């Protein structure tokens, strides 16, 4: 008789406990076998051995030996088993592990109140750093859950008919295969956006940790006072920021000049595109992404879009940047600040008033691109509940109210909105600050930049249509993918 037959009730019970609830048809997922009390786990093993009349102490010792050996193999740096299994089970598994490791390093820096570390080269956080621990794998699964929640929210909020879904996902070939490719691209781009947030955290926070500048002291004092104002306003109005006072310190030219010492806060540098200076900040991340993109282009062929004379590698690079951009916009649009925290995503704040509170939640820790600080994201435990709820972000790692890292929330957008010469590109609105990374990648690797009128305030503006169609993830499968390139022009 076999050790555990197919119709074994103990086997069925065990599988029901271990199997994750991927269909999300139930409100609560199954408990993990690893989290069961030891005595219950022992009973399951004993029951299984009793079911097989030929099983006894010898079989139990064999089982224990196999478990120990499997654990040793998984822990061995010489074994690639965990990477191979992870890659088959989870899209962009290594990218997710890199995001987890980068996040932990940045989080530790914030906890100790020191500047975020230099994380380059990015690839050193993957396989070269050794096999992932169980804790890292669990964190990667948490990131996957976060991405799946945002994917569910996007689908439920935007795909109100099969015809509309065809426009987003693509209509050619096998439907399941096409949808799977869309999802794989979205997940890979999402993990890389988390990596970008962690990698660039150092550059965006450098002005607030710098100790060798007298200008910094006055700068910090002014913004601590500004923060006290905003914090009181947030507490008064809960999640509604419409009545908060405007941030005034960015009008001070001395404060602006201090920030302009740093590449990411120099508007002129961004507009002109000094690639040498920007490479020092964005180069490591861009090189990591483009190296993988170029390798993929060697085995995949991309269709020429609108007969633009790009070679196959350049087309692959353009799609990669488009996918990163789209992932950033759609993930951050689904996340709002928890009540009592500095407001982000003002347009979605009002959704908090109508969102249903999920019956069960789970969390994931990320360094979100655009905020560049470690945050704990609370999300529904059941992915299907995401469409009726909201994802809440709470800043973590601050040891005191006036931590330097806090100031980025107050400085980033207002600085670019009020800086002289900023906010207009050939008579049109300029790109939002976080998009510096994407324009750098376009300039350096494809000879492109965003079109002048991309951010015009109208429904058919190129960038608005790019986000509405979000077909960057269905690259090469749909004629409508032309919208993903309408936001770019040659240098």
Q: How confident is the model at residue 356 (pLDDT cuts 50, 70, 90)?
A: low
Q: Please, which pLDDT band fits residue 240 given cuts at 50, 70 and 90?
A: very low
Do 127 and 68 belong to one domain?
Answer: no
Percent of the chain having pLDDT more than 70?
Answer: 62
Mean pLDDT of 348-356: 57
Q: How far is CA 402 from CA 60, 214, 398, 408, in A?
A: 58, 18, 9, 12
Return the SS3 of 23: coil
Q: Are residues 211 and 71 part of one domain?
A: no
pLDDT of residue 324: 96
The per-residue pLDDT for 12 is 43
**pLDDT tens readout for residues 148-203:** 999 888 777 655 544 455 455 554 555 566 778 888 999 999 999 999 999 999 99
Query: Omega of the bond prior to 121 within 30 degrees of 0, cis?
Result: yes
pLDDT of 249 higher than 70: no
Neighbouring C-beta atoms of residue 340, cutoff 10 Å: 11
pLDDT above 70 (res 326): yes
Residue 432 scores a pLDDT above 70 = yes
Number of alpha carbons in the 13 Å side-chain half-sphere of residue 370: 18
Q: Is residue 86 part of a domain?
A: no
For the cut 80, the answer to whether the pLDDT of residue 361 exceeds it is yes
pLDDT above 60 (res 3)? no
* Whether 37 and 142 share a structural domain: no
| Residue 14: predicted pLDDT | 42
Q: Of 42, 75, 108, at which residue does a domain stop?
A: 75
Q: Is residue 84 part of a domain?
A: no
- Quickly state the pLDDT bin for 323 (edges 50, 70, 90): very high
Residue 88: inside a domain, yes or no? no
Higher pLDDT, 341 or 477: 341
- Which band of pLDDT confidence, cut at 50, 70 and 90, is reported for residue 48? low
Alpha-carbon torsion 396, 398, 399, 402, what sign?
Answer: negative
**DSSP assignment of 175-221:** HHHHHHHHHHHHHHHHHHHHHHHHHHHHHHHHHHH--S-HHHHHHHH
- Give the whole-angstrom CA distance, residue 25 versus residue 180: 20
221 and 147 in a common domain: yes
Q: Which of 163, 154, 138 is nearest to 187 (CA)?
A: 154
Contact 130, 83 (CB under 8 A): no
My answer on whether 265 and 125 are in the same domain is yes
Average pLDDT over residues 224-247: 52
Element (H, E) at 477: none
| 321 CB-near residues (< 8 Å, 6+ apart) | 438, 441, 442, 445, 446
Enumerate the β-bridge partners of residue 335.
391
Tell me what the mean pLDDT of segment 298-326 comes to.
84
Range of the domain at 60: 9-75
Q: Is residue 228 a part of any domain in this protein?
A: yes
In a domain, 82, yes or no: no
Asked if residue 2 is part of any domain, the answer here is no
What value does the CA radius of gyration of the chain take, rounded to a whole number of Å? 25
According to the model, what pLDDT value does residue 18 have?
40
Q: How many domains does the chain have?
A: 2
Same domain, yes or no: 65 and 98: no
Q: What is the pLDDT of residue 207?
A: 83
Domain final position from 75, 102, 125: 75
Mean pLDDT in residue range 285-308: 86
State if pTM tops 0.75. Answer: yes
pLDDT above 80: residue 397: no
* Residues 120 and 267 occupy one common structural domain: yes
Residue 99 counted as domain residue: yes
143/17 same-domain check = no
pLDDT at site 242:
47
Residue 115 confidence class, pLDDT cut points 50, 70, 90: confident
- The answer on 349 and 318 residing in a single domain is yes
The pLDDT value given to residue 95: 98
At 121, list the tokens.
């080269």
Are 67 and 198 found together in one domain? no
Judgement on whether residues 104 and 68 belong to the same structural domain of the protein: no
Residues 182 and 69 in one domain: no
Mean per-residue pLDDT over the chain, rounded: 75
Residue 389 has a pLDDT of 79
Render 296-317 in DSSP notation, one character per residue: HHTT---PPSTT----HHHHHH
Whether 407 has a pLDDT exceeding 90, the answer reads: no
Say which residue, 446 or 228, is predicted with more confidence: 446
User: Which residues pair with residue 365 across a beta bridge?
Assistant: 376
Nearest CA to 372 among 351, 347, 393, 348? 393
Q: DSSP string of 241-280?
A: -TTSPPP-GGG-HHHHHHHTTSGGG-HHHHHHT-HHHHHH
More confident residue, 55 or 23: 55
What pLDDT score was predicted for residue 398? 59
Specify the pLDDT at position 460: 80
Q: What is the pLDDT of residue 13?
A: 39
Q: Is residue 83 part of a domain?
A: no
Residue 4's pLDDT is 41
pLDDT of residue 286: 98
Listed range (149-153, 190-194, 237-241, 484-488) with the worst mean pLDDT = 237-241
Q: Rank 161-170, 193-202, 423-432, 474-483 by mean pLDDT and report only the highest.
A: 193-202
The proportion of the chain whose per-residue pLDDT surpasses 90, expressed as a percent, equals 30
Query: What are the pLDDT digits (tens) for 256-269?
Result: 777 888 888 887 77
């Amino acid at each position: 008789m076999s050790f555990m037959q197919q119709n074994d009730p103990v086997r069925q019970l065990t599988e029901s406990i271990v199997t994750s609830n991927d269909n999300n048809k139930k409100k609560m997922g199954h408990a993990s076998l690893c989290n069961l009390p030891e005595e219950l786990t022992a009973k399951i093993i004993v029951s299984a051995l009793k079911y097989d009349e030929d099983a006894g102490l010898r079989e139990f010792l064999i089982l224990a030996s196999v478990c120990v050996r499997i654990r040793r193999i998984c822990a061995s740096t010489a074994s690639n088993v965990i990477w191979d299994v992870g890659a088959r089970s989870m899209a962009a598994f290594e990218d997710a592990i890199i995001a987890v490791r980068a996040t932990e390093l940045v989080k530790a820096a914030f906890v100790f109140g020191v500047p975020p570390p230099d994380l380059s080269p990015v690839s050193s956080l993957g396989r070269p750093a050794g096999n992932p621990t169980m804790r890292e794998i669990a964190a990667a699964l948490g990131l996957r859950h976060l991405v799946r929640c945002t994917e569910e929210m996007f689908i439920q909020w935007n795909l109100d008919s099969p015809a509309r879904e065809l426009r987003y996902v693509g209509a050619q070939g096998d439907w399941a295969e096409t949808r799977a490719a869309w999802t794989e691209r979205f997940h890979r781009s999402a993990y890389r956006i988390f990596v970008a947030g962690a990698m660039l955290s150092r550059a965006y926070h450098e002005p607030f940790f710098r100790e060798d500048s007298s200008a910094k002291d006055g700068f910090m004092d002014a913004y601590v006072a500004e923060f006290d104002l905003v914090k009181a306003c947030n507490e008064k109005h809960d999640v509604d920021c419409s009545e908060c006072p405007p941030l005034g310190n960015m009008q001070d030219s001395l404060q602006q000049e201090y920030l302009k010492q740093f590449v990411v806060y120099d508007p002129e540098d961004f507009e002109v595109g000094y690639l040498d200076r920007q490479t020092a900040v964005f180069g490591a991340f861009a090189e990591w992404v483009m190296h993988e993109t170029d390798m993929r282009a060697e085995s995949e062929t991309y269709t020429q879009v609108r007969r633009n004379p790009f070679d196959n590698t350049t087309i692959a690079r353009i799609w990669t940047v488009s996918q990163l951009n789209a992932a950033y916009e759609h993930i951050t649009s689904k996340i709002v600040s928890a009540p009592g925290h500095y407001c982000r995503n003002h347009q979605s704040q009002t959704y908090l008033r109508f969102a249903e509170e999920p019956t069960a939640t789970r969390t994931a820790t990320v360094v979100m691109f655009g905020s560049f600080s470690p945050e704990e994201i609370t999300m529904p435990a059941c992915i299907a509940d995401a469409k009726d709820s909201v994802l809440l972000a709470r800043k973590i790692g601050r040891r005191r109210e006036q931590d330097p890292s806090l100031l980025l929330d107050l400085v980033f957008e207002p600085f670019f909105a009020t800086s002289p010469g900023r906010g207009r590109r050939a008579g049109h609105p300029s790109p939002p600050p976080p998009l510096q990374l994407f324009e750098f990648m376009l300039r350096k690797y494809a000879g492109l930049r965003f079109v002048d009128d991309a951010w015009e305030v109208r429904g058919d503006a190129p960038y608005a249509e790019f986000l509405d169609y979000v077909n960057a993830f269905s690259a090469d499968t749909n004629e409508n993918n032309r919208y993903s390139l309408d936001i770019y022009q040659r240098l």
